[in-house]
Structure 1
Amino acid sequence: MGDGALLGNSDQTRWVWRGRLLGLARLAFGAPLAAFAIAASSSDPVDAHPHVWASVHSDVVFGPDDTIKAIRHTWTFDEFYSAMALQGLDTNGDGTYTKEELEPLAEVNVTSLKDFDYFTFVSVGQDQVALNEPSDAWISEKDGIVTLHFTLVLPEPVSAKDHEVKIEVYDPSFFVAFGFAKEHPVKTVDAGAGCTIDIRIPGEDKDPDALTEAFFSQLGPSSNYGSQFAQTAIATCSS
């Protein structure tokens, strides 16, 4: 799914309804992303397909001896989520959004995302890797589009030497659709010469745009369906 598809959705009627629902959850700071996931888990199954889109850039930060010590995310959201999130945040009314004005929105997003594992799943083989709470969280705005920046540090660095470390960003409920950006989706930082990143995209049979409302109506809130559409970054370092 390219950046263009991630940053647009013509079904505005659906968003008016969602905006009213989120009036109870936006905490006066704008719409926290997790509120959408909460809405998905409590709504009818027919609403399980994506209503928020995010284009993902990630940096895989390496430490000594080909170990991975952090994941640094940049998530750029679609225009409708951005418009909702920005409501009321231009406190001085000058038509622009400063980092300070957007700070409460960044804080409420990263705090509320804790219960959703920050939509970030790192694994080595069958073992899931724990992640610390985010650091360096901030939000930027350009042309009405919101971008969330934050870093997830691993409690203990994991080795990518001669085996794969899998990194996925997805919403299990599939209410939020994440996809790696077309250009420079995942980069290595301070990696050794033998370290590489490989992006794996689900096959054509995993195209959500080809599925019908009837299909989504059969899904339950705990189906973990979003994992089936997850794009995967594989980090590995050769000896």
Structure 2
Amino acid sequence: MMAKRILAAALASLGVAGAAQAHPHVYVTARSELVFGLDGRMKAVRHAWTFDDMFSSMAVQGLDANGDGKYSREELAPLAETNVTSLDEYKFFTFGKAGDKRVSFAQPVDYWAESGADGRVTLHFTLPVKDAAPEKGQPFRVEVYDPSYFVAFEFAKDNPAKLDQAPANCGVALERPPAPDAGQQQKLSESYFSGLSPGANFGAQFSNTLLVTCK
């Protein structure tokens, strides 16, 4: 499962620091597309998440089936499968809202993984809207974050978000989270997070928010 691979990468990065190491443990550079249907309503979110060097090197261990030192899409297929399967319990770190209604998403489709020239793994997947799709022209938001802050998301500097097949008068803006200040960073230890109550949703304060508006 992805959780096990994340844990393995985290343990490797902790080294002798052990429980004193602060969150987060895994870093993701993200790009997202909000896909619209012919009716002008959002029908899916298409993600591309590139993992940090440490996690990537741990995740691909044992997957080079032909031993050529490269990782094809076919060789990384089991990794993509286990990743999207285990992300279900975390709601795929993707939270939509239109007005006072929560937008829910179905199981991922069109998922695959690739290893770039720098060795970093990128997971691609599409989340179809399951329920409460925003009405045409209605403003809405899609937030990407890990409630536990074990995984930290940062959207890419170039082309971080875009709309696909949206009505001509619609646009998307990215609201980036503030970086943890010195006081926050000092308290983000393992002991601090182990003391949080279930459902504390600590990571929401570091949410990346895609804001869609139509004129």
Fold shared by both chains (TM-score > 0.5): yes
Aligned residue for 1:80, secondary structure, equals helix
The structural deviation recorded for 1:127 is 1.7
The structure 1 residue matched to 2:185, chosen from 199, 212, 216, is 212
Deviations 1:105-147 (A, max 9, x none): 0000000111110111111123211101000110000121100
The amino acid of 1:151's aligned partner reads: T
The structure 2 residue matched to 1:230, chosen from 202, 207, 211, is 207
- Partner of residue 137, structure 1: 111
- Partner of residue 73, structure 1: 47
Deviations 1:149-208 (A, max 9, x none): 000001247235443211111110000001111111111101111010011123xxx422
Structure 2: 5+ residue runs without aligned partners? 11-17
The structure 2 residue matched to 1:163, chosen from 124, 131, 138, is 138
Runs of 4 or more, structure 1, over 4 Å off, are: 44-48
Structure 1: 5+ residue runs without aligned partners? 1-25, 27-31
Distance 1:119 1:215, change over 3 A: closer
| TM-score w.r.t. length of structure 1 | 0.76
- Partner of residue 128, structure 1: 102
Identity of aligned residues (%): 46
Q: Distance in 2 between matches of 1:158 and 1:113?
A: 21
Q: What are the residue-to-residue correspondences of 1:25-174 with 2, within 5 Å? A: 32-33=2-3, 36=6, 49-142=23-116, 143-156=118-131, 158-159=133-134, 161-174=136-149
215-224 or 87-96, which deviates more: 215-224
Q: Distance in 1 between matches of 2:126 and 2:192?
A: 36
| Structure with greater proportional helix content | 1
RMSD of equivalent CA atoms? 2.5
The structure 1 residue matched to 2:172, chosen from 174, 197, 200, is 197
Q: Distance in 2 between matches of 1:60 and 1:69?
A: 8
